[in-house]
Amino acid sequence: MKKHKILIIGAGGQLGSELTQGLWQIYGKENVIATDIKDPQGILGQGNFEILDVLKEKALFEFIKKNNITQIYHLAAVLSATGERNPKFAWHLNMDGLVHVLDAAVEFKLDRVYWPSSIAAFGPTTPKQNTPQDTIMDPTTIYGITKLAGERWCDWYFRNKGVDVRSLRYPGLIGYKTKPGGGTTDYAVDIYIKALTDKKFECFLSEHTYLPMMYMDDAVKATLVIMEAPAEKVKIRSSYNVSAMSFSPAEIAKSIQKHIPEFTISYQPDFRQSIADSWPQSLDDMRARQDWGWQPAFDLDKMTAEILKHLPAYL
C-alpha cells in the first residue's frame, strides 16, 4: 500500500486545526505536516508544524519535494467579511494560492488534493431553499467569487491535467476549539462564548436570517470521507453541496436558553446582513449522500449540548 505524506496548508485556522488533529489520528503525526504563516496556537501546539506561505510558489514546491508530499489539504483563505474589506488580497490569496497547489499537484504527481468551497459561491438569484447541486451561481462577495472561480479551476485541472482534486461547499462551520476569523456565519460560534461569559449576545444578523450550518465534527468527517473515497465515486470535481442543519439567530438563542434560561439576544445588523441575505437558506446534498455516503450526525440541539459541555475548558 502506498504511504501517505500529507501537507495541510492553513492549518492554524478554525477548520484546519481540527482537521489536522483528525489526520494526525488516522495517519500518525510523523506523516502529517501542518503548516501556516504564523506559529501555531492552542491545539496545534504539540504536532508536526512548520511555517509555509502558499503564495511563495518556489518555497512551496521545494517543501513538497523535500518532504515527499503525496496529498495536500489547502485551506488557507480570506473569508467573506474580511474579503470585502480587502478584496484584492482576498483574490490574490484565494486564487493564486489554489493555482500554486494545483500546479504542484501536476508537477509532483500528487495522489490527491483537497480544497474547500462554500455556500458563498451562490448568490442572490440562486434558489434559496434546498439549493440544488447544479443551479444559478452569481456570488456578490469577493470571497464567493473566488470560491466559484476556484471550483472551475479544480474541475479544469481534473479534466485537463488529471489532478484528483476533491471539494465540499461548506455551510457555516461551528466549533469551539479555535476562534473563527472573518466569516459571516461566525456569529454562531461567538454566541456560545458570550452565552457562557456574559449571558447576553448582540447579533450582527437579524432575528430570522436562516443559513445552512454544520458542526465541526461533521465537517471534519465529511472532509475525511470524501478524501478516502475511491476516485470513481467522486463524480463531481467542482465541489459537492453538503448540508447538516439550517437555523436563524433566534433559533440558536432558543437552543442555548434550554441550558442557560437567563441568556438574552439582541440584534444590530451590519454590512454582513446583506452577505447573509445573498446566500442559500438550505442545501440539497443528495449527490454527496448518493456518491460517497455523506450523512451528518449533529442537529442544532445536539450541537448546542456538546458545545456548552466542552467550551468552558477552552475559555
Applying CB under 6 A, which residues contact ligand AKB?
79-80, 118-120, 143, 170, 172-173, 183-185
**Is-contact 33 16, C-beta < 8 A?**
no
Q: Which is nearer to ligand AKB, 19 or 104 (CB)?
A: 19
Q: What is residue 117's three-state secondary structure?
A: strand
DSSP per-residue codes, 163-189: --EE-EEE-EEE-SSS---S-STTHHH
**Which whole-number Å values give the CA distances from 148 to 39, 94, 291, in the listed order?**
30, 11, 21
Beta strands in 198-249 (DSSP E): 200-203, 211-215, 240-241, 245-247
Q: Which is nearer to ligand AKB, 11 or 119 (CB)?
A: 119
Q: Which is nearer to ligand AKB, 111 or 190 (CB)?
A: 190
Residues with Cβ within 8 Å of residue 277, at least 6 apart in sequence: 124, 209
Q: Which is nearer to ligand AKB, 32 or 168 (CB)?
A: 168
**Is-contact 245 181, C-beta < 8 A?**
no
Q: Which is nearer to ligand AKB, 33 or 188 (CB)?
A: 188
Strand pairing class (32-36; 6-9): parallel
CA 51, 55, 57, 58 dihedral sign is negative
Rounded to a whole number of angstroms, the minimum distance from the CB of residue 64 to ligand AKB is: 26
Catalytic residue among 27, 73, 114, 143: 143
Place of cell 438574552: 264
User: Which residue of this chain has its Cβ atom nearest to ligand AKB in the complex?
Assistant: 183
- Concerning whether 215 is annotated as a catalytic residue, the answer is no
